[in-house]
Amino acid sequence: MSDAKKAHPVGVCKICGGITYSIELINQRCGRSPHGRRCSGKFANASRDSDWKACEPCDGTGKLDSAQCVYCRGIGWNLTKPWII
């Protein structure tokens, strides 16, 4: 309904919870370093629409007022399955 609504990510790192929007990165090394160390996880496939549900507090925009939504970390989506993290 809102133009600001974003597409959901397609992959999630099982180790750090990082996300990717690139289908090519699924099953590839994450390599993010959110805590100063390179993550050794891989991006798991979460490309199906059923893997995600739009974040309710921010209505899928990733923003609450002008700040990043804390419920979805600014993604605008939350995983429907807890196995990922």
Tell me which of 12, 18, 20, 51 binds Zn ion, using CB under 5 A.
18
Please report whether residue 16 would count as binding Zn ion according to CB under 5 A: yes
- Strands 11-13 and 77-79 turn out to be unpaired
Helix (H) / strand (E) element for 60: namely none
Closest CA to 8 of 43, 48, 37, 36: 48
Smaller CB distance to Zn ion: residue 10 or 39? 39
Neighbours of 33 (CB within 10 A): 11
Smaller CB distance to Zn ion: residue 69 or 79? 69
Residues of this chain that bind Zn ion (CB under 5 A): 13, 15-16, 18, 30, 32, 39, 41, 55, 58, 69, 71-72
